[in-house]
A = this chain, B = another copy of it.
Amino acid sequence: MIEIEVKVKADHPKAHHVLKKIGAVKLGVENQSDVYFAAPHRDFAKTDEALRIRSLNNQAVLTYKGPKLDGISKTREEFETPVDEETTIQILHALGFSEAGVVRKKREVFRSGEITVCLDIVEGLGEFLEVEIVADSEKELEASRAKLFELLKQFGAEEKDSIRISYLEMVLEKNRG
């Protein structure tokens, strides 16, 4: 499974207006707390990988994200499994992984055709818009990315607005600054 996503800064009241206009369906609201882990044997910041436990309404999911596959979108391989949060943290610690940072956000999720649209309010960072398509293979990458930018136009965003760094990187950068 390949997740093709593009993230941009967005004014949420305006974005809500556009979503209504294009007939997007609201799927729900989630309060997500993401704990990111650093590996003992390689630097995920350099390899462009991520290992995360997301907790959400008493449910936790362990997610691995591989390096980005291209320069414009945030396309990458992604694997995830439901887990028990507490024991999974214990397992990761025992294996030498350590907590690298935490990202907390409120995410409103919408659906427009095959595209998932997320309006994220990220603690300490502000408002964002993320559009995503899930594809079976890399072959569909170009076509999917074109669809995402086509939709983003409606929100007044274009390719140059694409933010390639992750919320975690933004949080860590802010903490350093």
Measured CB to CB, the residues of A under 8 A from B are: 39-42, 49, 51, 62, 64, 66, 77, 79-84, 87-88, 90-91, 94-96
Contacts and interface: CB of A to CB of B under 8 A. Distances in A.
B80 A62 contact: no
A92 to B, nearest CB: 9
Contact of A39 (B42, B90, B95): B95
A69 to B, nearest CB: 14
Contacts of A84: 81-82
Contacts of A41: 39-41, 96
A82 B80 contact: no
Contact of A66 (B40, B42, B83, B94): B94
Nearest to A37: B95
